[in-house]
Amino acid sequence: MSARRSLIAGNWKMYKTSAEAADFARRFVPLVSGLADRDIMIAPPFTALETVAGILKGTNVALGAQNLFWEAEGAFTAEISPKMLAAAGCRYVIIGHSERRQFFGETNDTVNRRVRAALPVGLIPVMCVGETEQEREAGQTFSVLDKQVRKGLKNLVANELGTLVIAYEPVWAIGTGKTATKEQAQTAHQFIRSLVANLFPAGVAAAMRILYGGSVKPENISELMAMDDIDGALVGGASLNPESFAKIVCY
């Protein structure tokens, strides 16, 4: 268990219409309303953001988006700017999810551009990193994480990093039912924290929240949260049902 304030975040991916998202929010909020000692976030699809924002207003559940574009505005058909997300009520934005990297050409460089665009409007980036199964088997986990973290945080200075969250999501554990063991997750988190400590002045790494993501469920959240460097979870599949996500949030 870390001393940092934990964050449990739900990534809904391309699931739920606006009406379905509203129904989730109405059912979920009362299940977690008593929890004052942790942060809670849900990230619906763009089309549901404003509706869900209305329901979450004044509650202890924050709203997040699943991506953004780095330009403030312009002729960028289908893109969504940081300012638009902030105006829609978002507090967080997920950046560099492995599905974006795998299917939509996201690179460490574009991740960095998105992170740098999120911070000035007050959005908290949840920057995702993680190795594939092939990379793990080839013994490249640490070198992949090193590159993703170093490049993702390039050109940022310590005082900009106050709120930034990193999510360690081994690609082989996402949506597969294969959770990293608590020891595998702790080792990766510790590695990321020491890397951040080498890159930025004292204090930044110790304060930074590092979430674990990859088949988190009500059954495994407690053992993960018991590890020193695990400060929360980014949850996909199990965040789609209010009762199951509430069980995770209430670990």
Q: Does 67 help bind ligand PEP (rule: CB under 6 A)?
A: no
107 Ramachandran zone, left/alpha/beta (phi>0; psi -120 to 50): beta
Written as one letter, the residue type at 37 is: D
Q: Does 234 help bind ligand PEP (rule: CB under 6 A)?
A: yes
Using CB under 6 A, pick the residue from 131, 169, 229, 231 that binds ligand PEP.
169
Q: Which is closer to ligand PEP, CB of 156 or CB of 224?
A: 224
Q: Does 44 help bind ligand PEP (rule: CB under 6 A)?
A: no
Q: Which is closer to ligand PEP, CB of 122 or CB of 175?
A: 175
Q: Does 82 help bind ligand PEP (rule: CB under 6 A)?
A: no
Q: Which is closer to ligand PEP, CB of 214 or CB of 242?
A: 214
Using CB under 6 A, pick the residue from 30, 54, 120, 175 that binds ligand PEP.
175
Q: Identify the helix (H) or strand (E) that includes residue 53.
A: helix 49-56
For residue 128, what are the contacts with CB-CB under 8 A and spacing of at least 6? 94, 95, 96, 97, 98, 166, 167, 169, 213, 234
Q: Is the dihedral of CA 220, 49, 125, 115 positive or negative?
A: positive
Q: Does 216 help bind ligand PEP (rule: CB under 6 A)?
A: yes
Return the number of other C-beta atoms located less than 10 Å from residue 45's C-beta: 17
**CA separation for the pair 192, 201 (Å, rounded):** 15
Q: Does 236 help bind ligand PEP (rule: CB under 6 A)?
A: yes
Using CB under 6 A, pick the residue from 235, 246, 248, 249 that binds ligand PEP.
235
169 in active site:
yes
Q: Does 148 help bind ligand PEP (rule: CB under 6 A)?
A: no
Alpha-carbon distances of 38 from 7, 110, 166, rounded to whole Å: 6, 30, 16
Of these residues, 106, 131, 169, 189, which one is catalytic? 169
Please give the residue whose beta carbon sits closest to ligand PEP in the complex: 236
Give least dist CB 240 to ligand PEP, A.
9
Of these residues, 50, 97, 133, 183, which one is catalytic? 97
CA atoms within 13 A on the CB side of 205: 16
**CA separation for the pair 48, 190 (Å, rounded):** 35
**Listed residue (115, 108, 99) closest to 14, CA to CA:** 99
Q: Does 106 help bind ligand PEP (rule: CB under 6 A)?
A: no
189 in active site:
no
Q: Does 156 help bind ligand PEP (rule: CB under 6 A)?
A: no
**Catalytic residue annotation:** 97, 169
In the complex, which residues of this chain contact ligand PEP (CB under 6 A)?
A: 11, 169, 174-175, 213-216, 234-238
